[in-house]
């Protein structure tokens, strides 16, 4: 026997007493159920039921087969029903999420203010890191990652794109001229977030143009938040995500440098181990992030 379909159909047939009732309960055509029972009888080389226009009853072999399979089928039904019930339960348990450092503050704040009050049985464990976390090995439910992903063992959904642009504070440019050409950026000290500056070089694009700018870091630190703070403090020109830089331009803390030049847009993805996707807590998180991606991630 290759699968459980035939014994499942047979047990349901005897439990309901008629082909019509069993087919309705199984949500299959009457002809399909008849073929399943006939195929099972051929496989066992014995008739399992007496067929008549008035009633349906098992043969001795059929009764024996029914008794052997009934408890197994009932356990299968119970397991399936219990699992469906668990999926409909209120989301609960510890939700472990990893995200990019530049999005950790926004995401954490949004989850604390709007997500956790909605789901009081969820506990939050949020890690902001540039490290490529192995979600499965380290037990994370989901991650927010930038760029292409090396592993195909995850389910990936695109959240949006992240752009970086050049900014500096007004205090830095007191007594100095704003760069008017990309090459002039090299004459200024740079506040550097290392992932954006391999070999101390910024690669900038504007429409169909690309320029590689050699920079001279005055501060180099693997924290987008500190990169932001150092740029606002006037240490030099910083390359910041637009969702961080533009609000600071609006409030007057930063000035855009060479507006229109920035990095190539980087895809931002929500990544999940395949096994976690149907968990109620993960489903709730995914729905929340996609519905609130601007407030939660700046995308």
Residue where a domain terminates, one of 26, 57, 87: 87
CATH assignment of the domain containing 33: 1.10.10.10
The pLDDT tens digits for 6-60 are 899 999 888 888 888 888 888 889 899 999 999 989 999 999 998 765 678 889 9
CATH assignment of the domain containing 190: 3.40.190.290
The pLDDT tens digits for 266-295 are 888 888 876 655 678 888 888 888 887 776
Q: Which two tokens stand for residue 165?
A: 């642009």
Element (H, E) at 241: strand 237-241
**How many whole angstroms separate alpha carbon 289 and alpha carbon 283?**
10
**How many whole angstroms separate alpha carbon 223 and alpha carbon 193?**
7
Closest residue by Cα to residue 116 from 298, 254, 236, 296: 296
How do beta strands 255-262 and 164-168 pair? antiparallel
Q: How many domains does the chain have?
A: 3
Task: Count other C-beta atoms under 10 Å from residue 84's C-beta.
Answer: 9
Q: Are residues 174 and 104 in the same domain?
A: no
Q: Are residues 115 and 142 in the same domain?
A: yes
Q: Are residues 9 and 155 in the same domain?
A: no
Q: Are residues 43 and 23 in the same domain?
A: yes
pLDDT for the residue numbered 238: 92
Q: Which two tokens stand for residue 77?
A: 């039904």
Residue where a domain terminates, one of 24, 52, 87: 87
Closest residue by Cα to residue 222 from 109, 296, 128: 128
pLDDT for the residue numbered 296: 59
Residue where a domain terminates, one of 87, 108, 123: 87
- Residue range of the domain that includes 212: 164-265
The β-bridge partners of 161 are: 267
Whether pTM exceeds 0.75: no
CATH assignment of the domain containing 152: 3.40.190.10
Instruction: Give the phi and the psi of residue 10 in degrees, each rounded to 5.
Output: -65, -45
Q: Are residues 186 and 260 in the same domain?
A: yes
């Amino acid at each position: 026997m290759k699968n459980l379909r035939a014994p499942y159909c047979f047990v349901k047939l005897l439990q309901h007493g008629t082909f019509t009732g069993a087919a309705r309960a199984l949500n299959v055509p009457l002809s399909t159920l008849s073929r399943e029972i006939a195929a099972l009888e051929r496989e066992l080389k014995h008739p399992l039921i007496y067929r008549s226009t008035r009633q349906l009853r098992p043969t001795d072999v059929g009764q024996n087969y029914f008794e052997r399979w009934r408890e197994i089928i009932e356990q299968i039904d119970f397991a399936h029903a219990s699992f469906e019930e668990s999926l409909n339960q209120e989301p609960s348990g510890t939700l472990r999420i990893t995200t990019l450092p530049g999005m950790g503050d926004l995401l954490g704040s949004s989850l604390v203010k709007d997500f956790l009050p909605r789901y009081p049985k969820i506990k939050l464990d949020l890690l902001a890191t540039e490290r490529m976390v192995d979600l499965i090995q380290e037990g994370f439910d989901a991650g927010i990652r930038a760029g292409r992903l090396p592993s195909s063992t995850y389910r990936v959904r695109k959240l949006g794109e992240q752009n970086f642009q050049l900014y500096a504070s007004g205090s830095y440019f007191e007594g100095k001229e704003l760069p008017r050409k990309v090459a002039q950026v090299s004459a200024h000290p740079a506040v550097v977030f290392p992932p954006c500056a391999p070999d101390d070089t910024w690669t900038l694009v504007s429409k169909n143009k690309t320029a590689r700018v050699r920079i001279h870091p005055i501060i180099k630190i693997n924290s987008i938040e500190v990169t932001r703070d150092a740029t606002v403090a006037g240490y030099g020109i910083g390359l910041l995500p637009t969702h961080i830089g533009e609000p600071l331009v609006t409030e007057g803390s930063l000035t855009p440098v060479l507006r229109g030049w920035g990095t190539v847009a980087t895809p931002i993805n929500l990544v999940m181990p395949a096994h976690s996707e149907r968990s109620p807590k993960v489903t709730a998180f995914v729905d929340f992030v996609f519905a609130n991606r601007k407030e939660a991630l700046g995308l």
